A and B are shown apart, each in its own frame.
Chain A
């Protein structure tokens, strides 16, 4: 099944997961970019796995090809990793600063999942594609997929300052492809600090969809929310700052008595401490429209994660007219907030409490900050601006390889 070849060329997007019900920044950017490039006349194959859940990597979708909104979606079955214990052991050593051997790194990579059929498809069909775009940097699909046709491969690393980034195996993903697309300048700088980079690399950014309207009161009614709340959306994991957010939030409301709830949407266990059961409210996994309303109805969006390469949620918050309270320990988020003026930052629980106090006690100024954030998103991260940069990168790649 092929879409007809067009004047613009044929692209393969390779991502470990695809779907509107998939939570993940890299996956969302890849999905949107693929569809928008298809709208501009590129012929796009989207190669992905049958997995939906990044905790289990279980095959939940059917394998095979389907056409979705102008792209061909090809799903391949995941082969589960068989060395989970070895992978966990290697990760523990990584966290302690050790550098595993190359064979251990390969064991680590294979320990989560493999997709040999996807690789086979790339090997057989690589010549059909003018460019192969892979993301994020640390999964089997990218590390292995990038070896097929490096001269036509673009990696969108979505790099974080995390222990995995020290693996030599992953450094090759930054050094060997034809081009790298970064989402922000701090991610670009981090990559330079971590490993030698391929000569051609650009900061494309990522796009965010602007809504025409938001249903604030409807959202509150539908979810029975009666008090003001701050919002967190995404993966509830330690690495995304969820655990630390529960601690800092608890400190703020216990010490200062600030009457603001914490509402969360997304995936992963919420693990609400028993004494916060009526203050931390999980509204479950929401579709794009509903989550946009959740942003709009919040007094602030909280970004506690230090592992961000772009931070799409803070953009969505600003578009919805909501200011951001963010940790100062993420270079990327700090960069956005300093450039935009769209929020306030905290370094510890005392500052977090004061950030909450500020958005609650000075709502007009907080609203002004959100407006500044909105202007920033519309100037830099509209999809048409981002796709222009990606197309320029694709044209440059075509010139270089012709």
Chain B
């Protein structure tokens, strides 16, 4: 399956970029051929507008070329500030709702319900969640929050984030007998896990 992920991507390594990477990791692990569209091409395959009406236009234009398009919600809504905040929020939710209804291949990824620009709720929020054919979250808590905000429970899918086997973090510290050895192990173990996550 060829999928497009739309969201912020490093550099810089922001919280949003981390969430996009986690989504890419999860999709790749499930066997999908993943491409990324970000605001800056640096690490992504494609570059384009990803938020607001221009982001919605990008998605609508590209959706038919892929089997599925995953849009990170925290990257697709502009961060409303100042006097135009309400209008910005209204326009973004309205336009994205139209695109979501027109393109069933588009799925929303809500990696962190607390990081949704302009909040999760309100009438605009309900419009947005109701328009999505599929919403992907990683936690029951997130699902419940979305349902409370007006989303339909049956359209929300919970996927487990990539996780190490429980307890493995305890093993292998016998040689960390002083600061130098501890730092050496920390670097090696982190590099190994970083590589493993990238390869997956």
| A binding-site residues for B, Cβ under 8 Å | 243, 247, 251, 254-258, 271, 273-275, 341-346, 348-351, 353-358, 360-362, 365, 368-369, 372
B139 contact from A255, A275, A345, A368, Cβ within 8 A = A275
Q: How far is the CA of A275 from the CA of B142 in the complex (A)?
A: 8
Min CB distance B153 to A, Å, is 18
Q: Which residues of B contact A243 (CB under 8 A)?
A: 15
Q: How far is the CA of A369 from the CA of B181 in the complex (A)?
A: 12
Q: How far is the CA of A251 from the CA of B17 in the complex (A)?
A: 13
Chain A to chain B contacts (Cβ below 8 Å), 24 pairs = A254-B163, A255-B162, A257-B166, A257-B167, A271-B114, A273-B112, A273-B114, A341-B179, A344-B183, A344-B186, A348-B194, A350-B190, A350-B194, A351-B190, A353-B169, A353-B193, A354-B186, A354-B190, A354-B193, A357-B169, A358-B173, A358-B185, A362-B176, A372-B179
Min CB distance A352 to B, Å, is 8
A258-B169 in contact (CB<8A) = yes
Instruction: Report the 3 A-B pairs with minimum CB-CB distance, sorted nearest first.
Output: A350-B190, A357-B169, A354-B186
B142-A255 in contact (CB<8A) = no
Q: How far is the CA of A254 from the CA of B187 in the complex (A)?
A: 20
Known contacts A254-B161, A255-B162; A273/B183 CB under 8 A: no
Min CB distance B40 to A, Å, is 15
- B164, B176, B179 pick with most chain A CB within 10 angstroms: B179
User: How many chain-B residues does the 8 Å CB contact rule pick out?
Assistant: 36
Q: How far is the CA of A351 from the CA of B183 in the complex (A)?
A: 9
Q: Which residues of A contact B167 (CB under 8 A)?
A: 257
B113-A354 in contact (CB<8A) = no
Q: How far is the CA of A291 from the CA of B194 in the complex (A)?
A: 36
Complex interface bits, B167-189 against A, C-beta within 8 A gives 1, otherwise 0: 11111010011110011011101
Min CB distance A329 to B, Å, is 12
A349-B18 in contact (CB<8A) = yes
A357-B170 in contact (CB<8A) = yes
A350-B193 in contact (CB<8A) = yes
B145, CB-defined interface residue at 8 Å:
yes
Q: How far is the CA of A350 from the CA of B190 in the complex (A)?
A: 5
Known contacts A255-B161, A341-B178, A341-B179; A358/B170 CB under 8 A: no
Q: Which secondary structure dominates where chain B touches chain A?
A: helix
List 9 additional contacts besides A257-B166, A355-B186, A365-B177; criterion CB under 8 Å.
A256-B164, A258-B169, A275-B142, A341-B179, A342-B179, A350-B190, A357-B173, A361-B169, A365-B173
Q: How far is the CA of A372 from the CA of B189 in the complex (A)?
A: 24
Q: Which residues of A contact B43 (CB under 8 A)?
A: none
B173-A361 in contact (CB<8A) = yes
B141-A275 in contact (CB<8A) = yes
B186-A346 in contact (CB<8A) = yes
Q: Which residues of B contact A357 (CB under 8 A)?
A: 169-170, 173, 189
B186-A274 in contact (CB<8A) = no
Q: How far is the CA of A257 from the CA of B114 in the complex (A)?
A: 21
Q: Which residues of A contact B187 (CB under 8 A)?
A: 351
B185-A354 in contact (CB<8A) = yes
Which residue of chain A has its CB nearest to the CB of B189?
A354
Q: Which residues of A contact B171 (CB under 8 A)?
A: 361
B178 contact from A251, A271, A350, A368, Cβ within 8 A = A368
Min CB distance B182 to A, Å, is 5
Min CB distance A29 to B, Å, is 27
Q: Which residues of B contact A255 (CB under 8 A)?
A: 161-164
Q: Which residues of B contact A356 (CB under 8 A)?
A: 169
Q: How far is the CA of A63 from the CA of B169 in the complex (A)?
A: 55
Which residue of chain A has its CB nearest to the CB of B22?
A251
Complex interface bits, B31-70 against A, C-beta within 8 A gives 1, otherwise 0: 0000000000000000000000000000000000000000
Q: Which residues of A contact B164 (CB under 8 A)?
A: 255-257
Q: How far is the CA of A256 from the CA of B189 in the complex (A)?
A: 12
Q: Which residues of B contact A273 (CB under 8 A)?
A: 112, 114-115
Min CB distance A354 to B, Å, is 4
Q: Which residues of B contact A345 (CB under 8 A)?
A: 183
Known contacts A251-B18, A258-B169, A349-B18; A362/B182 CB under 8 A: yes
